[in-house]
Amino acid sequence: MEIERRRALNTDQVRALFFKELKSGRTKAQEKLLKLSQRGRVKRCRIALTEPYCYYIGPRHGRLEHLLDLNWVYVWFMAGLKT
């Protein structure tokens, strides 16, 4: 699971990695991530109310915002490879 490998991803990152070709990609990502959260496969939180939910496995990373920023580099790199 990509969330396990990256330690944490937010909704927009998951959309960019797996659902960017869909017109309703953000909604699809939200639906899938919510199901994973409800089934206990991932945990979720928000850094701020204006931010998308963040999903992670295991204990919450102490510098979660920094980790998400680093993961954007990975997402942009992977998106570049797929085009």
Give the predicted TM-score (pTM) of the model.
Answer: 0.91
Token output for 5: 């490998």
Phi-psi region of 14 (alpha: psi -120 to 50; beta: other; left: phi over 0): alpha
* Cβ–Cβ < 8 Å for 41, 33: no
pLDDT tens track for 4-35: 999 999 999 999 999 988 999 999 999 999 99
pLDDT band per the 50, 70, 90 thresholds, residue 82: low
| Residue with more model confidence, 81 or 26 | 26
Domain limits of the chain? 2-82
Q: How confident is the model at residue 1 (pLDDT cuts 50, 70, 90)?
A: confident
Across the range 71-75, mean pLDDT stands at: 96
Helix (H) / strand (E) element for 64: namely helix 64-82
